[in-house]
Amino acid sequence: MMPTGDNAGLPVVGKRRRLLFVTGNTSGIEPYFYLSAVRPWVEGLGHHFEVTCLEEPDGLDAAVERVRPDLLLFFGAKTRLLYSGPVFDCRARFGIPVAALTLMDAHSPAKQAFFEHAWRLGVEACFCIDTGMREMCGGFADAVYYCPWFVNHEITRDFGEPKRIPVALIGDGFLSTGTDWRYPWRRAVAGKLREEFPTFSSPRPTSRFPHELVGEAYGRMLNRSLLAFSCGGSRHIFMKKNLEIPASRCCMVSEVNAGLLHLGFRDMENCVFVTPSDAVEKCRYLLEHPDELQALTDRGFRFVREHHDARNRTMIAEWLMLRLDLPAGRRIVQPDVCGPLRAVPVDSGERGVLLTGESPFVSGMEQASSRWSTGDVSGCLAAIEDAARMLPLTMEPKFLKALVALAEGDPRGAVDGFQEILRLGIFWGAERPDPLLWGFYLLALDRSGQTETAARLAAAFPDVDHPVLRDVRASLGAAGVGGGPACPSVFASPWFFPESPEAFLAALRATVEQNCSGGGPA
């Protein structure tokens, strides 16, 4: 256990509180990702808190007794929380606020494992760098707050490199042969750019395909570039590269999206927004007018250093300040990404900001749901396939496809679909199934003629509970199982249940008898 942080850059939200940051064991994280993504958070929190880091899995009780923190913050990198010690409700045990910080993508198949682990630890607020998490975490949405990436001055700064790269294409997708659907905008602009300009491509390094353009070498490469392209992928999320490029005194070129606009990026003011049809024209203009390009680059450089530094990421400190004095009947919302958090009545209809609704993936899921609601099953399945093509491991298309199969008279197909999601969850660290997933899986087993198996499994995971799961268990003779506090579900989304999961189950029961050929009553 070691202290970190410094006394500089006091937060705007008041005095620095004591934070016990449960990082867990970070030794398994890829070195480049640790340097560029993990370590900056450990150091950045020191601007707002007196931080003590805890790596040992079994030392939590002793650390809380020693540090006496105002906030217990668990950490997760790309998957579930890295804490591997005993699991219990920390909020009830220690009597202090408990939160989590995750660098995980909302489309990660590890999402269920993360939220399940966090819920069992008593986490009441999840701070996410993925600016689309709220649209994709179902019943956990009101506990999600965005705390986006910030400038890492160690890696990305003005090194004084000569500008020798006209156009840099940063990240995956630009070298795609046409099969990578995660980045439709990158696929659309890459070929045109290569035909017109000398370009340099740098895909994301991985443990399987590493390269040396990481850390300072990566920052120097950006610093040598005049224009560097990046985007938010098929989900239009705010990415680390959106700060790394301008912070390296390079002009960022991107597809416009709501996240960039909310975070203050403006076309030809501090960055360049292009479409596939005007990308070449706008880049050629800037390369032919170096003074304008230099002025634009300088404005972007100043903008991110002034507005997207670690000192600007006060969200966790703001939440704690509100949480410590939160009256009964109030809850905390985040109306804007970088605006102040505030307390509102519990029954207020105000929810946190949503940023990725116009992205190809989210639009595809909404289209699939809409087509199903109007009876266009084939159109729904086609939209599901389009969404799944963009993000093959993401659970949402798989879950909707299985629900459609169950409702449309193919319970065996539903069983296969739900089993695939369950296997993915286990592989990525889930120790218990999602309650809605488990409930509809049991129902699909029953409807496919596997009633005995469904009845036996209904008694499993008694600490996983939900009104829908409780109802299905009762129908299978396991009415006494569960009964504890209902677990939120990552699948409690209007994409799947326009009214509610309970209403969907009732409607399903009204129609499933005429569609399904096997099994007993639901």
* Residue 203 and residue 232 in contact, taking contact as beta carbons nearer than 8 Å: no
Name 216's bridge partners. Answer: none
Number of domains in the chain: 3
Q: Return d(Cα 441, Cα 415) in angstroms, integer.
A: 6
In a shared domain, residues 50 and 145: yes
Q: Are 147 and 99 in contact (CB under 8 A)?
A: no
- 280 in Cβ contact with 193 (< 8 Å): yes
* Interval 228-287: pLDDT, tens: 999 999 999 999 999 999 999 999 999 999 999 999 999 999 999 999 999 999 999 999
- Residue 10 pLDDT level (bands cut at 50, 70, 90): very low
**How many CB atoms lie under 10 A from the CB of residue 510?**
9
Within-domain flag for 191: yes
Q: Residue-wise over 324-333: b if at least 16 C-beta within 10 A, else e?
A: eeeeeeebbb
408 and 315 in a single domain? The answer is no
Alpha-carbon gap, residue 37 to 354, rounded angstroms = 24
The 10s digit of each residue's pLDDT in 299-315 is 999 999 999 999 999 99
pLDDT for position 207: 67
If asked whether residues 107 and 182 sit together in one domain, one would say no
Q: Are 120 and 135 contained in the same domain?
A: yes
The strand ranges marked E within 16-88 are 17-22, 49-54, 71-76
Q: For residue 123, give the CATH number of its domain.
A: 3.40.50.2300
Q: Provide, rounded to the nearest whole percent, the portion of the chain with pLDDT above 90.
A: 78
Residue 337, in any domain of the structure: no
Contacts with 297 (C-beta within 8 Å, 6 or more apart), sequence order: 226, 246, 249, 250, 251
Contact between 322 and 95 (Cβ < 8 Å): no
Domain carrying residue 413: 373-515
Distance spanning both ends of the chain, measured CA to CA = 53
- As a whole number of angstroms, the distance between CA 371 and CA 383 comes to 9
Q: Are residues 386 and 511 in the same domain?
A: yes
- CA distance linking residue 189 with residue 250, whole number of Å: 19
Does residue 342 sit within a domain? no
Number of other CB atoms surrounding residue 476 within 10 Å? 22
| Residue 503, domain CATH | 1.25.40
Q: Is residue 243 domain-shared with residue 263, that is, in the same domain?
A: yes
Per-residue pLDDT at 486:
82
147 neighbors 336 (Cβ within 8 angstroms): no
Q: What is the CATH number of the domain that holds 232?
A: 3.40.50.2000
More confident residue, 10 or 170: 170
- Does some domain include residue 79? yes
Planar angle of CA 460, 466, 472, nearest 5 degrees: 65
Q: Are residues 317 and 445 in the same domain?
A: no
In a domain, 41, yes or no: yes
Q: Same domain, yes or no, for 92 and 128?
A: yes
Domain shared by 260 and 318, yes or no: no
Domain identity same for 129 and 203: no
* pLDDT at 9 (0 to 100): 35
175 domain-assigned:
yes
Instruction: Please tell me the predicted confidence (pLDDT) of residue 420.
Output: 97
| 447 neighbors 512 (Cβ within 8 angstroms) | yes
Q: Does the pLDDT of residue 513 top 60, yes or no?
A: no
pLDDT, tens digit, 9 for 90 and up, residues 96-134: 999 999 999 999 999 999 999 999 999 999 999 999 999
pLDDT of residue 69: 98
Domain shared by 122 and 190, yes or no: no
Confidence of residue 2 (pLDDT cuts 50, 70, 90): very low
Residues facing residue 43 across a β-bridge: none
Those residues whose C-beta lies under 8 Å from the C-beta of residue 104, and which sit 6 or more positions away, are: 76, 77, 78, 79, 110, 111, 114, 128, 130
C-alpha 256/C-alpha 263 separation (Å) is 12
- Residues 6 or more apart whose CB falls under 8 angstroms from that of 499 comprise none
**Do 144 and 14 fall into the same domain?**
yes
Q: Exposed/middle/buried for 291, CB within 10 Å: 0-12, 13-18, 19+?
A: exposed
Q: Please state, in angstroms and rounded to a whole number, the distance separating the CA atoms of residues 381 and 361.
A: 14
Rounded Cα distance, 389 and 179, in Å? 9
d(CA 230, CA 247): 14
Confidence of residue 27 (pLDDT cuts 50, 70, 90): confident
- % of the chain exceeding 70 in pLDDT: 93
The answer, yes or no, to whether residue 518 has pLDDT greater than 60, is no
pLDDT for 251 equals 98
Across 55-97, the runs of DSSP E, i.e. the strands, are 71-76
Mean pLDDT of the chain: 90
Quickly state the pLDDT bin for 324 (edges 50, 70, 90).
very high
Q: Which CA distances in Å does 462 have to 114, 250, 419, 485?
A: 20, 55, 19, 11
Predicted pLDDT at 446: 96
pLDDT digit string, tens, across residues 466-504:
999 999 999 999 888 877 788 899 999 999 999 999 999
Task: Assess if residue 158 is contained within a domain.
Answer: no
The pLDDT of residue 79 is: 83
Q: What are the tens digits of pLDDT across the range 410-459?
A: 999 999 999 999 999 999 999 999 999 999 999 999 999 999 999 999 99
Q: Name the pLDDT band for 177 (thresholds 50, 70, 90).
A: low
- pLDDT value at 517 more than 80: no
Q: pTM of this prediction?
A: 0.92
